[in-house]
A and B are shown apart, each in its own frame.
Chain A
Amino acid sequence: GDSVTQMEGPVTLSEEAFLTINCTYTATGYPSLFWYVQYPGEGLQLLLKATKADDKGSNKGFEATYRKETTSFHLEKGSVQVSDSAVYFCALKGTGGTSYGKLTFGQGTILTVHP
């Protein structure tokens, strides 16, 4: 079945540092890939997405590129802020076949940014 693996956390950075959170996936066909963010005490919010190979999703300074050859969708940000402190989830949605839009999530990565 489909699966998503994220880098182990938690990740602690100083403000303005560079962020990478690794995400790799296993899926049949051509899944869509997503990053969701969960701020403390809140629900899941879509951060960015990519629906086909080589697509780059971007939002709020975050970027991720759909790499089919390495089955990866790593999240990056050039300069993090304290307000980026949250839990980040990589997820995929399979397409076609018996998939009915189900999202498969990675285990989440806790990011803490210090001033």
Chain B
Amino acid sequence: EPEVTQTPSHQVTQMGQEVILRCVPISNHLYFYWYRQILGQKVEFLVSFYNNEISEKSEIFDDQFSVERPDGSNFTLKIRSTKLEDSAMYFCASSDDINTEAFFGQGTRLTVV
């Protein structure tokens, strides 16, 4: 069964450092998303990406964040200068259509120290 794959599963980084979280969406999907879940809180939307550009982003997705689809398979989330409050589980998701269900990866747990 096709699945969304995220790497790494856990990343520890020092405050102020740049991190890149990687995702391989399901191959025939066209819509890509990043969400995050701070420990004990709800899952929050960060950004959606379609046709090689951002289609929607939340207030959380400020200038420190960027997304890229560098090739035909990967979808990355970059945080330029991490802050302690960026510590969270980051989920990548993809869907084949704007109205259908999104399939989620296992998540990357980011810990900023």
Contacts and interface: CB of A to CB of B under 8 A. Distances in A.
A91 B93 CA distance: 14
A44 B43 contact: yes
B20 interface: no
A98 B56 contact: yes
Contact of B99 (A89, A95, A106): A95
A100 B98 contact: yes
B101 A105 contact: no
B48 A42 contact: no
Interface in B32-52: 33, 35, 41-45, 48, 50
Interface residues of A, number: 25
Interface stretch (B11-19, B63-71, B73-81, B104-112): B104-112
Contacts of B105: 43
Given A100-B31, A100-B48, A105 B99 contact: no
Contacts, number: 64
A32 B42 contact: no
Q: For B44, B98, B107, which residue has the most chain A Cβ atoms within 10 angstroms?
A: B98
Given A101-B95, A101-B98, A102-B56, A46 B103 contact: yes
Closest 9 CB pairs of A and B: A100-B55, A43-B106, A44-B104, A105-B43, A101-B98, A100-B56, A107-B42, A100-B48, A43-B107
29 contacts: A34-B101, A44-B91, A44-B93, A44-B104, A45-B104, A49-B101, A51-B99, A89-B43, A91-B43, A95-B98, A98-B56, A100-B31, A100-B55, A101-B33, A101-B55, A101-B95, A101-B98, A101-B99, A101-B102, A102-B33, A102-B48, A102-B56, A103-B33, A103-B35, A103-B43, A103-B93, A105-B44, A107-B41, A108-B42
Interface of B: 31, 33, 35, 41-45, 48, 50, 55-56, 91, 93, 95, 98-99, 101-107
